[in-house]
Structure 1
């Protein structure tokens, strides 16, 4: 009987030792689970931050794309204007200048019979220069100071 009691006590000690080991292992596993959950939460937060940053970068990219398109449109518009200005400048340089004597001769001394019309800046006459019929505008004496630049634009 003594042996049975010793065997029973021995079994109980073994079971207690196993329970302690299992308790330690369980506590260790619970700590590891807590650590893993914390790491997972950190990773999820980093992922959320990265997704937010990616969205922000996408918005910035779209804004930069829009600005680039606006700038390209302005450059195109300026190129067109520059071409038009260059064309107008070339045309302005292609005008032939005539002397007063040629104009007087072409209009027969600004003959009233050759008058086509009158405007705010002067009188328009029909004339003939170098075998070509032309319109010649003579600036009024009252318009010389106030309207000179407008007259040149016409």
Structure 2
């Protein structure tokens, strides 16, 4: 059995710079992680879309989401520095409003991933959809809303 003090040192050694900037379990860490999961899911689903104009349009949306992920991370790190959070309570005031906007952006990023799923399903039933980038309109609308909320 590993002595408890050794296990603790292993945990400390594995801590990433993210843990220092975003905290370990507060609202800013959870918000960032939720947004990251939505963006990761978007890209996982995108892998199943065959090559063509539809995939190209969806890849552009995915690249825009990746840029937003960097901005969300920076915003969450800044908020953690000014309004530190270690629990589940969302701060009030401007920080609370910022949290609400970024939380809505995470939800819209997940909706963009749902739009990729729908495009995949349509492409399976009607392969002619792959030749038309208009199947990416729902994802594009969701990503545009994400960008607006992240940059507000």
TM-score range (shorter-chain normalised) is under 0.3
Q: Which has more strand, going by share of residues?
A: 1
Higher RCO, 1 or 2 (CA under 8 Å, sep at least 6)? 2
> TM-score, length-normalised on structure 2?
0.23
Which protein has the larger Cα radius of gyration, Structure 1 or Structure 2?
Answer: 1
